[in-house]
Amino acid sequence: MNHGHTVLAQLAQFLSHNEFNRCVARYAGNHRVRRLSCWDQFLAMAFAQLTYRESLRDIEVCLAVQHRKLYHAGFRSAVKRSTLAEANEQRDWRIYADFAHTLIAIARPLYASEDLGLDLDATVYALDATTIDLCLSLFPWARFRRAKGAVKLHTMLDLQGAIPVFIDITDGKVHDVNVLDVLVPEPGAYLIMDRGYLDFARLYQLHQALSFFVIRAKSNLQFQRRYFHAVDTTTGVRSDQTIVLTGPKTATRYPAPLRRVSYYAADIDKRFVFLSNNFAVPAPTIAALYHCRWQIELFFKWIKQHLRIKRFFGTSANSVKTQIWIAVSVYVLVAIIKKRLGLPHGLYTILQILSLTLFEKIPISSLFSRFDHATELLAPSNQLTLFAF
């Protein structure tokens, strides 16, 4: 007798079947498919992400054990290793990329009120890339170095909620700065970047699109100071200048004035020099904006540690991109659940609890209430102190 929905079925209720079917129809994903529809494929790969499965056979065996509960969780056919491998190889990865973007569009408004600690009425993005090493003999399309393969995840992160709004998956040889050619600048938004994106022709395109940027300067920058603004050195700011570039190439590529802010971080005993095209915000805010960029480093660390994107179930480019985009969908889904259910727990805690309870028939909210109660029982607050000093 069914006393309720499994946790996996409840998670699927946060996903729009209509939007998913539109993504499938856009690329004819279910054309001539007899077994394992795109939805079944997505659920199986999402299950692998949520429970950190090791291989396709691991997915097959674990789902077969729960075969009586699969239908009510949304599966319409059994998941076989060979069929899932074929689906990952052949079905267009853009189906899952488009669906991930529909989830991102849902998640961003939920985190729009998050406070970054900055007095800014604008969206702040961080742009960076991370490399995932691959075996070149198994992934010959992902050439990185002479005897090494890799893929790069070029990512733009909305810092309010750490939601990825743009991801481009390329081979490891593609330079980070090239992603600026495919980004669509958002007028009035701030884009925070490291020195790897210092290309003045591309930065000038951002400037012309009315988008603001903050980027670290290189030590060999050739410039001439136009104005020097008074600063409060107690904030860490050492100088705030309006400059023009004087290099033989840079002066042509970026003909407009730039703002150059020098900042000393006493906690790490290090000096930073930032360039920006925004002259209105206070100089300490420029430094604070760049400090927020570290959220994208934490995002990369989190997904590499807690999602399945460092080892892949297939070797083709299509299979790798499918797996990464479904991993992104799972990350955003967990972020949506956190806000929709008002959970105070971190994403890691939510993911770990879900990984062990996917086939339990208990409301998700009760699941976390039970966890909180168990944590209170384990708390050693009433335990006697054996040694007193």
Give 89-135 pLDDT, tens digit per residue. Answer: 999 999 999 999 999 999 999 999 888 888 888 999 999 999 999 99
How far, in whole angstroms, is CA 147 from its chain's centroid? 28
In a domain, 121, yes or no: no
In a domain, 23, yes or no: yes
- 266 shares a domain with 322: no
- 83 shares a domain with 28: yes
pTM beyond 0.85: the answer is yes
DSSP string, 126-167: EEEEEEEEE-TTT-TTSEEETTEEEEEEEEEEETTTTEEEEE
- 270 shares a domain with 228: yes
- 266 shares a domain with 318: no
- 201 shares a domain with 252: yes
In a domain, 319, yes or no: yes
Q: What does the alpha-carbon distance between residue 341 and residue 321 come to, in Å, rounded to a whole number?
A: 30
- 320 shares a domain with 266: no
Residue that is last in its domain, among 282, 299, 331: 282
- 323 shares a domain with 274: no
Which residue has 């100088």 as its token pair?
A: 239
- 268 shares a domain with 348: no
In a domain, 82, yes or no: yes
Please, what is the angle between helix 364-378 and helix 347-357, to 10°? Answer: 110
In a domain, 105, yes or no: no
In a domain, 144, yes or no: no
In angstroms, the first-to-last Cα distance of the chain is 58
Residues 34-49 have a mean pLDDT of: 94
- 252 shares a domain with 206: yes
216 neighbors 258 (Cβ within 8 angstroms): no
154 neighbors 89 (Cβ within 8 angstroms): no
- C-alpha dist (Å) from residue 265 to 234, 285, 288, 291: 11, 14, 11, 10
237 neighbors 287 (Cβ within 8 angstroms): yes
- 275 shares a domain with 317: no
Give the contacts of 369 (CB within 8 A, at least 6 positions apart): none
Q: Work out how many domains the chain is built from and give that number.
A: 2
Res 385: pLDDT: 46
Domain that holds residue 71: 7-95+313-369
Q: Tell how strand 124-134 and strand 190-193 pair up.
A: parallel
In a domain, 200, yes or no: yes
In a domain, 152, yes or no: no
Summarised one tens digit per residue, pLDDT across range 232-285 is: 999 999 999 999 999 999 999 999 999 999 999 999 999 999 999 999 999 999
Summarised one tens digit per residue, pLDDT across range 193-205 is: 999 999 999 999 9
Q: What does the alpha-carbon distance between residue 359 and residue 7 come to, in Å, rounded to a whole number?
A: 6
